């Protein structure tokens, strides 16, 4: 279980998070929606101690992340996969080396096993055969998918997706949606996805949260979204073509 309690975070003068509280149950996938610049990525980064709150608490399975020692923190991070908004591939490494790195560094795997897992992860994102290429030789959407392969290669218990389908064509986006759904349902992964893509959120997530100006203004199960009255949320539904006018 992931639990964020009343998180406050400012950068310089800008108060980016203003009391964000969220709970993600085991096996559940939560989608975080919201306008650009409302603190979605910042929220996600708090879960793994990539950013620390000015105020508030972060818990994962009872561990207080924002107070954790380095050993506990690194052990915790290895149970996570994180899909970065901009893929964040290492440009000095090939696709293969990028995807293999989480396994290589954990030192628990034999070479053949690493090769097999990397191949499998790349197949899952339709990128078999790109092992020897460098990130600079890939398109934006391909980079994104290598980022997804790298996040799932070590079969993590938790997956954090920062806009996993942004910049993908609709067909590929659907493949990624299927993949996320599959991970959730068959491997029991607990997930948080940040997205602008409501279709993807409705397909994969169990619960939606709308973040606005650093606050959670809507928190609803997916099957009850039509009951939500918050104007910003209804705007979001309308803009996504889910709902037409009133």
| Binding residues for another protein restricted to 39-68, rule: CB under 8 A | 45, 48, 50
| Binding residues for another protein restricted to 148-177, rule: CB under 8 A | 150
Report angle CA 97, 98, 102 to the nearest 5 degrees: 95
Binding residue for another protein, selected from 90, 129, 169, 226, defined by CB under 8 A: 90
- Residue 41 is a binding residue for ligand ATP (CB under 6 A): yes
109-126: buried (b, 16+ CB within 10 Å) or exposed (e) per residue?
Answer: beeeebeebbbebbebbe
Question: Rounded to an integer, what distance in angstroms lies between the CA atom of residue 121 and that of residue 79?
Answer: 17
- Residue 172 is a binding residue for ligand ATP (CB under 6 A): no
- Residue 37 is a binding residue for another protein (CB under 8 A): no
Binding residue for ligand ATP, selected from 39, 102, 156, 191, defined by CB under 6 A: 39
Q: Which is nearer to another protein, 70 or 110 (CB)?
A: 70
Mark residue 31 as left, alpha or beta (left: phi above 0; alpha: psi -120 to 50; beta: remaining).
beta
Token pair for residue 39?
């603190």
Question: Rounded to an integer, what distance in angstroms lies between the CA atom of residue 222 and that of residue 201?
Answer: 9
- Residue 46 is a binding residue for ligand ATP (CB under 6 A): no
Phi, psi of 24 (to 5 degrees): -120, 115
Residues that bind another protein (CB under 8 A): 45, 48, 50, 70, 74-75, 77-78, 80-82, 84-86, 88-91, 101-102, 105-106, 150
Residues that bind ligand ATP (CB under 6 A): 11, 14, 16, 34, 36-42, 85
């Amino acid at each position: 279980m992931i639990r964020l309690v009343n998180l406050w975070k400012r950068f310089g003068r800008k108060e980016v998070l203003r009391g964000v509280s969220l709970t993600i149950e085991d096996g559940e996938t939560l989608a975080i929606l919201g306008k650009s610049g409302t603190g979605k990525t910042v929220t996600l980064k708090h879960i793994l101690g990539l950013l620390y709150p000015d105020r508030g608490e972060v818990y994962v399975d009872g561990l207080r992340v924002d107070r954790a020692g380095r050993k506990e923190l690194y052990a915790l991070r290895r149970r996570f996969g994180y899909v970065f908004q901009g893929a964040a591939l290492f440009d000095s490494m090939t696709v293969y080396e990028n995807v293999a790195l989480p396994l290589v560094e954990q030192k628990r795997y034999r070479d053949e096993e690493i090769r097999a897992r990397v191949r499998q992860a790349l197949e899952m994102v339709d990128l078999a055969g790109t092992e020897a290429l460098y990130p600079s030789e890939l398109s934006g959407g391909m980079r994104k998918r290598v980022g997804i392969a790298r996040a799932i290669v070590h079969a993590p218990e938790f997956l954090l997706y920062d806009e996993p389908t942004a910049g993908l064509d609709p067909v590929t986006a659907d493949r990624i949606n299927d993949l996320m759904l599959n991970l959730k349902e068959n491997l029991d992964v607990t997930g948080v996805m940040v997205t602008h893509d409501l279709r993807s959120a409705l397909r994969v997530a169990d619960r939606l949260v709308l973040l606005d100006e650093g606050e959670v203004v809507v928190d609803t199960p997916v099957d009850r979204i039509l009951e939500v009255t918050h104007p910003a949320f209804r705007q979001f539904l309308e803009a996504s073509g889910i709902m037409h006018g009133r």
